[in-house]
Amino acid sequence: MSRALLAAWEKTLRRHADRPAVVQAGDGRTATFSQLAAGAAAWRAAHIRGDELRGRAVVLALPNGLAWLEIFLALLQAGAVVVPLDAAEPAEAQRRMAEAVRAAAWWDGARLVPLPGARCYRDPAVCLIKLTSGSTGGPRALVFTAAQLLADTCHIMATMGLTSRDRNYALIPFGHAYGLGNLVVPLLAHGVPLVCGSAPLPHAMAEDFARWQPTVFPGVPPLWRAVVAADAKLSGLRLGISAGAPLPVETARGFAEKFGGRLHGFYGSSETGGIAYDATGDATLAGGVGRALRGVKLKMLRGQRVQVSSAAVHTHGNRRRSGRHGAWVMPDRVARDAQGRLTVLGRRGLTVKIAGRRVNLAEITERLRQLRGVTDVWVGVREGPEPVLGAALATARTPVDVRAELAAGTAAWRIPKHLVTLPAFPTTARGKTDTAALRARVFLSRG
């Protein structure tokens, strides 16, 4: 199933057998590439019989660490189609998602739990399924081949200048698209070692960097915001990357002022892998995400939409093509300047009717982003016989203060009826804004 990826792994193993592959910063455990291979072989021998999982989906949900990598590698070698999930998902939710994709088994942390009604993938190139909610809120299965995973990592490494001499700091979940492309596949296919972080806290990160000297840190905005606020020193860091959600300009500028370096914006999606990267850090200081990765082609469409095409874009169940590669139209509105630099403007406009008037949520979002001291915005609608407009703002200001400014230049029907202000937005385990938590907070409030 994953012949291309496994061939790359075998090459890595021959080149780097006795080099450290994985460090677990929390307990100091270190494994070489040959020890990682041995661990995968032992797990496979203990839990898999023959070809019983070939072409079958298997759900894997564990925290980052050596065990995750051993099981992932063992499943690929057994010909399984791996479905990685967040370890933070409750066990019952993991099982429901496993059944939704008709998986053959689910690793519950101790054993492979067989599931009924398993689907068999007959295409031998298929090796992984990413589950994403997209805009529907329900799990959506994106099927990928090994060649597509390898292409994504090649685009990332070539554009960012990563090599096997680097050491990646791993706090983002391995199973997320960002973690797969920037951490897992670089380890297996190119021999880029990993330091699995002990905890997503500034002092813990600083201690990990001081002891293990990782050189590259693919992070998310909440982690970078915490680093800047705590003035945590990340000794040995040569490249800081921010993705998964928009990086506030204040965080990018704060990092530059405190540490004398730049954070580099990175933009991608589950469907496409990496899309754009800010190689200099200049675009990130102005709220942008940089230029297209090497090997990625972008085509601007009507309505500030962008089509992404590359060898990394998923093609299983995706009819859109650009030449011989898959293509995907992003749901975001995007601006591109004369130098090819992208700025993500937010999701495409959603128009709803409230009190007889049409309200464009994208326009409301942009108006709220313009307010003094606001670093992030969420806008939503509570459906019902009389839809209600609500918003959450990341700011130190009070709802009363915000409403007063809005009233001076905004029509009353365009001002959210429910308005909540927070110092920072809650995030999921993947570092993305927790929109479910914000929705609950906004529409349970009387702000």
Whole-angstrom Cα distance, residue 335 to residue 305?
8
Q: Are the C-beta atoms of residues 114 and 104 closer than 8 Å to each other? A: yes
Nearest to 6 by CA among 75, 84, 66: 75
Environment class of 416 (CB within 10 Å of its CB; exposed 0-12, middle 13-18, buried 19+): buried
Is residue 445 scored above 80 in pLDDT? Answer: no
DSSP sequence for 197-243: -S-SSHHHHHHHHHHH---EEEE-HHHHHHHHHHT---TT--EEEE-
Contacts of 215 (CB under 8 A, 6+ apart): 166, 167, 168, 236, 237, 238, 239
Q: How far apart are CA 207 and CA 140, in angstroms?
A: 38
The pair of structure tokens assigned to 91 is: 């066990």
Domain map (residue ranges) of the chain: 3-198, 351-443
The mean pLDDT of 383-407, rounded to a whole number, is 89
pLDDT in tens, 248-292: 898 999 999 999 999 999 999 999 999 999 999 999 999 999 999
Q: Is the pLDDT confidence value at 47 over 60?
A: yes
Which of 96-100, 168-172, 371-375, 435-439 has the highest average model confidence (pLDDT)? 168-172
Q: Count the Cβ atoms, other than its own, within 10 Å of residue 132.
A: 15
What are the tens digits of pLDDT across the range 162-184? Answer: 999 999 999 999 999 999 999 99
pLDDT level of residue 349 (50, 70, 90 thresholds): low
What is the distance between the alpha carbons of residues 2 and 209, in angstroms, rounded to a whole number?
A: 34
* The pLDDT value given to residue 223: 92
351-443 fold? GMP Synthetase; Chain A, domain 3 (3.30.300)
Say if 3-198 and 351-443 have the same CATH topology: no
pLDDT of residue 135: 41
In CATH terms, 3-198 corresponds, of 3.40.50.980, 3.90.550.10, 3.30.1390.10, 3.40.50.1370, to 3.40.50.980
Task: Report residue 411's pLDDT band, with 50, 70 and 90 as the boundaries.
Answer: confident
Taking CA atoms, 164 is separated from 298, 363, 407, in Å, by 29, 45, 56
Q: Could you read off the pLDDT of 119-129 as tens digits, one per residue?
A: 999 999 999 99
Residue 2: pLDDT band by 50, 70, 90 thresholds? confident
